[in-house]
Amino acid sequence: MTNFNTAQPIAQPASGLTELVLTQGTSQSWQMVLPMIAHLSRQCGQRWLTWVTREPVPAQLLANFNVDTSRLRLVHCKNDEQQLWVSWDALALGNSHTVIASPGKLNKREFEQLERAAQLGQCQGLLIRER
């Protein structure tokens, strides 16, 4: 059996995209996503954890899940298209270790563009969508 020491940083995985698909309309979505965000906020070193979202995230909610807000950059967008291109920029710039976004359903070309941006910026993208 392997013992995992959660106090030590985890090696940064190769750049690329990961999709997380959640059931639409469940109140437990925050409870699944925020512990991941809290963990990532403590693993970013000198780079940002960037969260591109349509809705403001209450500071108290972040505090409840122990998110390190000193390394978190929240970017608010008006719609899916704006989220897509802001996410692309955040991935490609290379100043974030992870970019989290919910740009809606992506076609193959859009997904490939985000994948290339993540490789260019040497960071991870976490795309959250609902089914």
pTM here? 0.84
Identify the pLDDT of residue 72.
95
Q: How is the chain split into domains, by residue range? A: 16-130
CB count in 10 Å sphere of residue 38? 18
Segments in the chain below pLDDT 70:
1-14, 25-28
pLDDT value of residue 25: 67
Burial of 59 (0-12, 13-18, 19+ CB in 10 A): exposed
What are the helix (H) ranges across the chain?
29-41, 59-64, 80-93, 108-121
> Phi, psi at residue 69, to the nearest 5°?
-75, -10
What is the predicted pLDDT for the residue at 27? Answer: 61
CATH 3.30.365.10 fits 16-130, yes or no: no
Predicted pLDDT at 30: 74
